[in-house]
Amino acid sequence: MSTKFFTNTEENTVFQKFKGILSNMKDVFAFHAVVGYFRSSGYFALQPFLKDIKDIKILVGINVDLMFADAQKKGLLYFGEEQKTKEEFLKWFIQDLKEAKYSREVEEGILQFIKDIVDGRIEVRAHNSKAIHAKFYLFLPQLHSEHSDGWVIMGSSNLTEAGLGIKKSPNYELNIALKDFDDVEFTKIEFQKLWQQSTTILPADILEYKKKTHIGQFFTPFEIYLKLLIEYFGNNIDYDPDTVGDLPKSYKKLSYQVDAVNQGFQMLMDHNGFFLADVVGLGKTIIASMIAKRFLVANGSLKTKILVVYPPALEKNWKSTFRMFGIDRHTKFVTNGRLEKIVNGEDMNYWAKEDYDLILVDEAHKYRNHTSQAFGLLQRICKAPRNSEGLVTGKNKKVILISATPLNNRPQDLYYQLLLFQDARRSTLPVTNLQSFFGPIIREYKDVMREDEPNVEKIRELYNTIREKVISQITVRRTRRDLANYPKYLDDLKEQGIVFPEIAPLRTVGYSLNAKLSKLFYHTIFYLTDDDKINYYRYQAIRFLREDLQDAYYDQAVLISKSLAGIMKTLMVKRLESSFHAFQITLNNLLVSTQRMIKMFESDKVLIAPDLNINELIEKGFSMDDIENLIIELSTEKPKNNIFKAEDFEPELLTGLRKDQVLLQELSNEWAKVEEDPKIEELFQALENELLSKDRNPTGQLILFTESNDTADYLAEKLVKRIGKGVLKVSSANRNKIFETIQENFDANYIGKRKDDYQILITTDVLAEGVNLHRANVLVNYDTPWNATRLMQRIGRINRIGSIAGVVYNYIFYPSQQGDEEIKLYKNALLKLQGFHSAFGEDAQVFTNEELVEQFELFKEGMPDEEDKRLVYLRFIREFKDANPREFKRIKNFPLKARTARKYEDTMAEETKDATLIFLKSPYKMEFYVVTNDNKVTPLTFLEAAERFEAKVNEQGYDVPASHYDNVQAALEEFDKDFLGATTDTVTTTDKADAISAQAKKFLRDFKSITRKADTKKACEVLADLIDKGTFTPLPNEIRKLKRRLDKKETSYGQADNLIIALAKKYDVFNDGEDEQSSTNDIDLNITPEIVITETFIG
């Protein structure tokens, strides 16, 4: 069908029509255009066809509504004055240069466009009438008549790449091409009227505004380096103690705390959360309170609600500190075991979870287990969209995770804590897809931990990667060395009279077994760990249930059973290492528990109740009938608690239980004969020789930690007999009751009357956190905890500001070689602690001299300990601003795409030779790259980028080479690939999470297609979006369980409809109105990053 209309589809584009007219029309003298939008990139495409045309006029309609609104805001009348119209066009011109494709050809086209205006070949005018909506293009001969050629194209297309149809995804446009004389003549007259009414854009105007763009200025390497620091540090450069607001009279504004506030607040704004991980003693509670107050001011006090989550022991500290800062009335306080009160919304003492704007989580490492109920509750609180936005806009809450030890065991610890304020597959960090980033690292970590020998170098490599790519972006952590090496910080410490104690080299204590005891020890280890000996059948009962009963009551029965048996095996060996006394108690408990299960088989009533401690109930005097009734009541709500018959189990279970009973009884008999204890004898020897010596222990007080409460009881009994009174034993059972006694005797900061009733404190890890014990300066680790970070937390009790002694001593009893061969406790502790040192840094070794407390790239080279290099760069740009305020302002206002070239020197990083450094920024993250001559793109951390951008004041700059543009384009493509790849499922993931997520999304797609309920369809969509982003960790598993119940016909499709809607409501992403809430701010996938600065090294 022949038509005069065309739509920018296939080859039927405005550009092709232009090209055809300009190539075939004879004697084209004039090209006149009226457009609503003009882009130099669109003009650039037409340049080859316009080069011989003498009369080119472009009339651009300016959006007068914006100028009118601006005038109204200022209380002025808008009369459409020419100067304002001209300024608006020229701003538009600058914006066009910012957004134009970064290539040599485009820039040459823009420069030619400017030259054509200056030479008078092109005239540009701007029209300020809001009534102009027409777009038309005239092609005229010098003398237009009814006997000459002439064309007009009219329709919806602007003079842009998209409007012309030459963009990859062109706009759908509807245009018509006319050549009848009357049509062309009418349009020509209309153009002349509009042209006369418009404002002339003079060549001088264009030249003046060209100077404000990257193509009109020349930049030196030093200026580019300063621009990098200004853009990166932003408001943190403005050191202003007043940013933290008024402090209580008893507090002084300390520069290291103010800097932490500024840095942390910026991370809150950039990433919605961060880790406050300063080492022990630097005042994390005070810093967090300062940030909370600053956020309150920034968001508006009437609009702000704060939640503080903490362990019960820290309640008094948090409430009193917030009260002193005057922000307690804007805050609710909740202990970490009562989060369900907020989620359920039934306790009127708390606001709804959607009402909070800022959440502070103390001892945040406790939320590293994503399968725990506590994690799920906290994540729902943190990620529930804000009900009411204040001055800080956006639906996302802000979250501060407070812990001196964010990493406790494995890389997963950090990953899951991050998911309290980041989405797994769409983060705001340089690593957009956290799931695919952590996946390979977690697998490699597991492989290393399975190796027989500790591979410290590999652990360092893995955690260095995590530190560089993730931790450095969202962590405020200062070691004591940082404070000592930054003059402002050091002055603060001196002014306060603060002195940190020195940490003496680690002391290790060994003990040896005589021949008879050694033989029994080996014999016991063999029985506990060999597959042909004790197999802990008492903890594997559900594995031997009939298959139909397993399917009905217990998911992954085999896996759970083997896991429980493995845990018990490790526990038995660890008890043996802790003390012979603790081992004998645990051994006898296992024997009794096994015997009781055999009796259940004999009575044909086998009780399996995960939610009840059956052995404890029996010890309390409950009869089997009482316990049976409890299980029957419980089974209605929780079917996993049930009573089975003996025939419901495979015969192998009873056989295994009887075999275990025989072996356990044999061991129990052997250990009942043992009276000697070489380990405690070694402790007694150390007490006499050094632990209590005046030269080492001036206060004569000692802290003794053990993992086992049974060991603590045993040590207390033996030490009382040995030294008499003065021994205090603490466990979870009496901690709260005697907490004041602990403070009176061992806390150097205690403001009440101090006492000297106790010389030795024996405690489980219940005192490893949240208490000062620094009247003592000597600590003994009587055993090694499986969670090696506990060792850091233990020493932190006495290594604190205000310690009475000048030196802190740390002693540790190592596990025996025989036991360690089985459970690898030494290797486990070493690698976990090395992981922490490599990820976060620490002041000293805490377990073994093999730990490398090293300098790494985050810190200043040449320091014996770690000074945060970001502080060095921040200090430099602050000092530059103070000394050169005008120059600072000039550089701060540099346009986007500022660039230079510089000479490569041998002292520079080798990979920068003939390469380009690139700094890109989008609304959700910033990224640094180095791109080599062959366009190989390598991401850089800020510190790596700053080191390479760094330049001398007088260093000469050069014009960028041709390769520069290809390098920058390669970086832009890498940026897009990284973000777009983060939204796909084809990634390597953690813990099979990707497969589970894919199954959950497929189920939701399928269910959406079959359900008839509009609400369910909407719920399926929003839940699938949450899974796609990785917002809520438990959600994919919850969907999978629903699918399984549906497949087993345990749930009807009607019930599934309601359950899906219930899930959407649970995660606060469903409402019945037209607007749909989102748990996270939507990120536009089409956002192109801004090119902030670039720099090419030339040979």
Q: What is the 3-state secondary structure (H, E, C) of 795-852?
A: HCCCCCCCCCCCEEEEEEECCCHHHHHHHCHHHHHHHHHHHHHHHHCCCCCCCCCCCC
β strands within 715-820, DSSP E: 727-730, 760-763, 778-781, 807-813
Element of type H or E holding 67: helix 64-73
User: In whole angstroms, how far apart are CA 344 and each of 340, 348, 353, 376?
Assistant: 6, 11, 9, 13
Amino acid at 852: L
CB 476 within 8 A of CB 286: no
Amino acid at 169: S
Task: Read off the pLDDT of each residue in 381-408 and give the average, rounded to a whole number.
Answer: 88
Give the list of residues 6+ apart from residue 496 with CB closer than 8 angstroms, or none: 252, 254
CATH 3.40.50.300 in the chain, residue ranges: 502-511+676-840
Task: Read off the pLDDT of each residue in 290-299 and give the average, rounded to a whole number.
Answer: 89
Maximum average pLDDT range among 66-70, 272-276, 489-493: 272-276
Supply the pLDDT for residue 1072.
46
CA 31 to chain CA centroid, Å, is 55
Task: Read off the pLDDT of each residue in 629-643 and give the average, rounded to a whole number.
Answer: 59
Supply the pLDDT for residue 865.
32
Of 467-471, 472-476, 708-712, 786-790, the one with minimum mean pLDDT is 786-790
Task: Read off the pLDDT of each residue in 739-757 and give the average, rounded to a whole number.
Answer: 91
**CA 614 – CA 620 distance, rounded (Å):** 10
> Long-range pairs for 288-291 at CB < 8 Å and ≥24 separation?
288/360, 288/362, 288/400, 288/402, 289/321, 289/322, 289/325, 289/327, 290/244, 290/245, 290/247, 290/257, 290/258, 290/261, 290/325, 291/261, 291/264, 291/265, 291/400
Task: Read off the pLDDT of each residue in 307-335 and give the average, rounded to a whole number.
Answer: 91
Element of type H or E holding 928: strand 926-931
**CA 939 – CA 944 distance, rounded (Å):** 9
Task: Read off the pLDDT of each residue in 294-303 and give the average, rounded to a whole number.
Answer: 84
Closest of 710, 800, 700, 705 to residue 756, by C-alpha: 700
Give the list of residues 6+ apart from residue 132 with CB closer than 8 angstroms, or none: 34, 36, 61, 194
Supply the pLDDT for residue 626.
56
At 839, is the pLDDT very low, low, confident or very high (cuts 50, 70, 90)? Answer: very low
CB 1033 within 8 A of CB 416: yes
CB 250 within 8 A of CB 496: no
User: In whole angstroms, how far apart are CA 111 and each of 118, 893, 1034?
Assistant: 10, 22, 56
Task: Read off the pLDDT of each residue in 106-134 and give the average, rounded to a whole number.
Answer: 77
CATH 3.30.870.10 in the chain, residue ranges: 5-216
Positive/negative CA dihedral, 305, 308, 312, 318: negative
Beta bridge partners of 582: none
At 700, is the pLDDT very low, low, confident or very high (cuts 50, 70, 90)? Answer: very high
Q: Is residue 747 packed enough to be buried (19+ CB in 10 Å), middle (13-18) or exposed (0-12)?
A: buried
Of 101-105, 289-293, 479-483, 807-811, the one with minimum mean pLDDT is 479-483
pLDDT at residue 867 greater than cutoff 50: no
**Over the stretch 40-65, which tens digit does the pLDDT of each residue have?**
667 777 888 888 899 999 888 765 44
Element of type H or E holding 672: helix 651-672
CATH 3.40.50.10810 in the chain, residue ranges: 236-410+475-496
Percentage of residues in the chain having pLDDT higher than 90: 31
Structure tokens at 299: 């968001």
What fold is seen in the domain 502-511+676-840? Rossmann fold (3.40.50)
Give the list of residues 6+ apart from residue 1022 with CB closer than 8 angstroms, or none: 1064, 1069, 1070, 1076, 1078
pLDDT at residue 674 greater than cutoff 50: yes
User: What would the CATH number be for the domain defined by 236-410+475-496?
Assistant: 3.40.50.10810
Supply the pLDDT for residue 74.
38
At the fourth CATH level, which superfamily is domain 5-216? Endonuclease Chain A (3.30.870.10)
Closest of 1026, 1045, 1035 to residue 993, by C-alpha: 1035
Supply the pLDDT for residue 989.
45
Amino acid at 219: F
Closest of 766, 739, 761 to residue 750, by C-alpha: 739
Element of type H or E holding 921: strand 916-921
pLDDT at residue 925 greater than cutoff 60: yes
Helices (H), 480-546: 480-485, 487-496, 515-529
Supply the pLDDT for residue 306.
97
- Per DSSP bridges, beta strands 1090-1098 and 502-503 are unpaired
pTM: 0.60
**CA 419 – CA 408 distance, rounded (Å):** 16
CB 12 within 8 A of CB 3: no
**CA 292 – CA 1088 distance, rounded (Å):** 33
Helix axes 1053-1066, 1035-1047, angle to 10 degrees: 170
3-state secondary structure (DSSP) of residue 334: strand
Give the list of residues 6+ apart from residue 235 with CB closer than 8 angstroms, or none: 262, 266
pLDDT at residue 425 greater than cutoff 90: no
pLDDT at residue 816 greater than cutoff 70: no
At 963, is the pLDDT very low, low, confident or very high (cuts 50, 70, 90)? Answer: very high
**CA 150 – CA 26 distance, rounded (Å):** 9
pLDDT at residue 77 greater than cutoff 70: no
- Per DSSP bridges, beta strands 916-921 and 1090-1098 are antiparallel
Residue 278 neighbours by CB distance under 10 Å: 24
**Over the stretch 229-287, which tens digit does the pLDDT of each residue have?**
999 888 777 755 445 556 676 666 777 888 888 888 888 988 999 999 887 767 889 99
